Chain A
Amino acid sequence: MADYFSTWFPEGWDWLGWLLAAIIQAVLLLHVIAVGAVVFIWMERKIAGRIQDRLGPTRTGGKFGWLQTLADGIKLLSKEDLMPRDADPLLFKLAPYISLAASFTAFLALPFASGWVGVRLNIALFFVIAVLGLEVFGVILAGYGSGSKWSLFGGMRQAAQVVSYEVPLGICVVVPVLISGTMDLVTIADQQSGLFSNWLFFHDPFCMLLFWVYFTCGIASVNRAPFDLAEAESELVSGFLTEYSGIRWSLFFMAEYGSMFLVSGLAAILFFGGWNGPIPIFFWVPEGNFTLETLANLVGLGNFLLKAVLGVVVMMWVRWTLPRLRIDQVISMCLKYCVPIAAFCFLGSVLWTALHLPFLNDVMPMQARGDVREGWVQDIDNEMQQLEKRLATEAYELNSAVEGGPQQEAQTSLEEDAADRVALIPTPQPEGAR
Chain B
Amino acid sequence: MTNFPLLLAAEINWHTVFFYLTSFIACGFALAMVVSSNVVRMAFFLVLSLAATSGLIFLTGAHFVGAMQLMIYVGGTVVLLIFGVMLTAQQAFISMKTKAGDWILALIVGGSLLALLTQIAFSVPAWRSSDYQARLQAEVTAAEEEIIAAMAADNRTELTAAEAAKLRPLLAKVKYGQPELTSQVGLGLVGVRVDKPELDSLGYSGYLLPFEIVSVHLLVVLVGAAYLARSKRSAVMQTPEGDAR
| A–B proximity contact (CB within 8 A) | yes
Given that A11-B10, A122-B179, A380-B168 are contacting pairs, would A163 and B71 also be in contact in the complex, using a CB cutoff of 8 Å? no
Residues of B within 8 A of A130 (CB): 67, 70-71, 74-75
Residues of A within 8 A of B152 (CB): 395-396, 398-399, 402
Q: Is B149 an interface residue (CB 8 A)?
A: yes
Which residues of A120-171 are within 8 A (CB) of B?
121-123, 126-127, 129-131, 133-134, 136-137, 140-141, 143-145, 147, 152, 155-156, 159-160, 162-163, 166
Residues of A within 8 A of B78 (CB): 137
Q: What is the interface size of chain A, counting residues whose CB is below 8 A from a CB of the partner?
A: 57
Let me know if A12 and B6 touch, CB within 8 A.
yes
Q: Bound state CA distance, A122 and B180, in angstroms?
A: 9
**Minimal beta-carbon separation of A389 from chain B (angstroms):** 8
Given that A144-B40, A162-B79, A392-B157 are contacting pairs, would A86 and B67 also be in contact in the complex, using a CB cutoff of 8 Å? no
Q: Is A55 an interface residue (CB 8 A)?
A: no
Q: Is B86 an interface residue (CB 8 A)?
A: yes
Residues of A within 8 A of B74 (CB): 130, 133-134
Let me know if B148 and A388 touch, CB within 8 A.
no
Let me know if A140 and B71 touch, CB within 8 A.
no
Let me know if A160 and B41 touch, CB within 8 A.
no
Let me know if A159 and B179 touch, CB within 8 A.
no
Q: Is A391 an interface residue (CB 8 A)?
A: yes
Let me know if A399 and B155 touch, CB within 8 A.
yes
Q: Is A183 an interface residue (CB 8 A)?
A: yes
Given that A12-B7, A12-B9 are contacting pairs, would A127 and B67 also be in contact in the complex, using a CB cutoff of 8 Å? yes
- Name the CB-closest residue of B to A145: B40
Q: Is B80 an interface residue (CB 8 A)?
A: yes
Q: Is B14 an interface residue (CB 8 A)?
A: yes
* Interface-centre pick from A147, A388, A395, A396 (highest chain B CB count, 10 A): A395
Residues of A within 8 A of B207 (CB): none
**Minimal beta-carbon separation of B177 from chain A (angstroms):** 10
* Interface-centre pick from A94, A137, A166 (highest chain B CB count, 10 A): A137
Q: Bound state CA distance, A183 and B68, in angstroms?
A: 14
Name A388's contact: one of B44, B47, B93, B158 (CB within 8 Å). Answer: B158
Q: Bound state CA distance, A15 and B89, in angstroms?
A: 49
- Name the CB-closest residue of A to B174: A383
Given that A134-B70, A137-B79, A384-B164 are contacting pairs, would A123 and B171 also be in contact in the complex, using a CB cutoff of 8 Å? no
Q: Is A293 an interface residue (CB 8 A)?
A: no
Let me know if B70 and A88 touch, CB within 8 A.
no
Let me know if A163 and B7 touch, CB within 8 A.
no
Q: Is A379 an interface residue (CB 8 A)?
A: yes
- Name the CB-closest residue of A to B176: A376
Residues of B within 8 A of A133 (CB): 71, 74-76, 79
Q: Is A425 an interface residue (CB 8 A)?
A: no
Which residues of A48-65 are within 8 A (CB) of B?
none
Q: Is B87 an interface residue (CB 8 A)?
A: yes
Residues of B within 8 A of A86 (CB): 92
- Name the CB-closest residue of A to B38: A88
Q: Bound state CA distance, A97 and B27, in angstroms?
A: 22
Residues of B within 8 A of A384 (CB): 164, 167-168, 171
Q: Is B159 an interface residue (CB 8 A)?
A: yes
Secondary structure type dominating chain B contacts: helix
Residues of A within 8 A of B41 (CB): 88, 90-91
Let me know if A387 and B70 touch, CB within 8 A.
no
**Minimal beta-carbon separation of B226 from chain A (angstroms):** 10
Let me know if B40 and A183 touch, CB within 8 A.
no
Let me know if A160 and B82 touch, CB within 8 A.
no
Residues of B within 8 A of A123 (CB): 63-64, 67, 182
Q: Is B211 an interface residue (CB 8 A)?
A: no
Residues of B within 8 A of A127 (CB): 67, 70
**Minimal beta-carbon separation of B157 from chain A (angstroms):** 4
Q: Is B187 an interface residue (CB 8 A)?
A: no
Which residues of A85-135 are within 8 A (CB) of B?
86, 88, 90-91, 94, 121-123, 126-127, 129-131, 133-134
Let me know if B83 and A163 touch, CB within 8 A.
yes
* Interface-centre pick from B7, B64, B92, B179 (highest chain A CB count, 10 A): B92
Given that A86-B92, A391-B159, A399-B155 are contacting pairs, would A376 and B175 also be in contact in the complex, using a CB cutoff of 8 Å? yes
Residues of B within 8 A of A376 (CB): 172, 175-176, 179
Let me know if B63 and A121 touch, CB within 8 A.
yes
Q: Bound state CA distance, A276 and B157, in angstroms?
A: 38
Q: Bound state CA distance, A396 and B148, in angstroms?
A: 9
Q: Is A290 an interface residue (CB 8 A)?
A: no
Residues of A within 8 A of B157 (CB): 392, 395-396, 414, 417-418, 421
Q: Bound state CA distance, A410 and B79, in angstroms?
A: 74
Contact mask B84-123 → A, CB, 8 Å, 1/0?
0111010011000000000000000000000000000000
Residues of B within 8 A of A140 (CB): 79, 82, 86
Let me know if B44 and A134 touch, CB within 8 A.
no
Q: Is B147 an interface residue (CB 8 A)?
A: yes
Q: Is B151 an interface residue (CB 8 A)?
A: yes
- Name the CB-closest residue of B to A390: B144
Given that A88-B40, A141-B44, A380-B168 are contacting pairs, would A134 and B92 also be in contact in the complex, using a CB cutoff of 8 Å? no
* Interface-centre pick from A134, A143, A396, A418 (highest chain B CB count, 10 A): A134
Contact mask B131-175 → A, CB, 8 Å, 1/0?
000000000000010011101100111110000100110011001
**Minimal beta-carbon separation of B70 from chain A (angstroms):** 4
Q: Bound state CA distance, A399 and B56, in angstroms?
A: 47
Pairs of residues from A and B, 4 with the lowest C-beta to C-beta distance, nearest first: A12-B10, A133-B75, A395-B151, A130-B71
**Beyond A126-B67, A137-B44, A395-B152, 20 extra complex contacts between A and B, CB < 8 Å:** A121-B63, A130-B71, A130-B74, A133-B74, A133-B76, A133-B79, A136-B79, A143-B86, A144-B86, A152-B89, A376-B175, A380-B176, A387-B171, A388-B164, A392-B157, A395-B148, A395-B149, A398-B148, A398-B152, A418-B157
Can you list 16 A-B contacts (CB < 8 A)?
A12-B6, A13-B10, A88-B38, A90-B41, A123-B63, A126-B64, A126-B67, A133-B74, A137-B44, A137-B47, A183-B182, A374-B179, A376-B179, A388-B159, A391-B151, A392-B158
